């Protein structure tokens, strides 16, 4: 089931919110591709695009956190690093499999990781920045 952006997902920073919207769109594309059982090579391409954009987003977000004196910056940065490592691991795992193996063994965990991260990270962890972003904006 697709994730749909809602206003209550906004952290109050246009750059971060736009990144989150785009990450949601990539996640939804990956999920649709899995549901259509596209070739693993195509899923690898989508997943690598997600990983690359995620890394870019994390860099931007971490710079903003420093600018707003976000007190949880180091822990947040560590969580970002762990997520990228998990994503790299799953991509490496399924990209080396044939379609049947990947669909049976690995791809369900990819969607789980992405959904858990997206929902947990944006709605819980990134929301902790909101008050600091709003203070900086005013």
Would you say residue 5 has pLDDT above 80? yes
Place of tokens 């920073």: 13
Given this model, what pLDDT does residue 73 score?
Answer: 95
pLDDT at 23: 92
105 pLDDT higher than 80: no
pLDDT number for residue 108:
74
Residues 11, 84: Cα–Cα separation, whole Å:
21
- Please give the Cα distance from 102 to 96 (Å, whole number): 8
Q: CA-based angle 102:88:48, to the nearest 5? A: 80
pLDDT of residue 96: 84
pLDDT computed for residue 25 by the predictor: 93
Q: Please state, in angstroms and rounded to a whole number, the distance separating the CA atoms of residues 29 and 10.
A: 21
- Measured between alpha carbons, how far is 28 from 18 in angstroms, rounded to an integer? 15
In tens, the pLDDT along 51-79 reads 999 999 999 999 999 999 999 999 999 99
pLDDT of residue 14: 95
Q: How confident is the model at residue 136 (pLDDT cuts 50, 70, 90)?
A: confident
């Amino acid at each position: 089931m697709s994730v749909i952006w809602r206003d209550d997902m906004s952290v109050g920073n246009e750059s971060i919110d736009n990144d989150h919207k785009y990450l949601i769109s990539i996640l939804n594309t990956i999920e649709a591709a899995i549901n259509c059982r596209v070739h693993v090579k195509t899923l690898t391409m989508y997943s690598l695009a997600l990983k690359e954009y995620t890394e870019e987003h994390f860099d931007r977000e971490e710079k903003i956190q420093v600018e707003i004196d976000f007190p949880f910056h180091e822990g947040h940065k560590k969580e970002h690093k762990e997520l990228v490592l998990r994503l790299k691991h799953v991509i490496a795992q399924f990209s080396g499999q044939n379609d049947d193996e990947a669909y049976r063994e690995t791809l369900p965990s990819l969607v789980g990781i992405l959904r858990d991260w997206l929902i947990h990270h944006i709605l819980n962890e990134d929301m902790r920045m909101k008050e600091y972003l709003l203070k900086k904006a005013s």
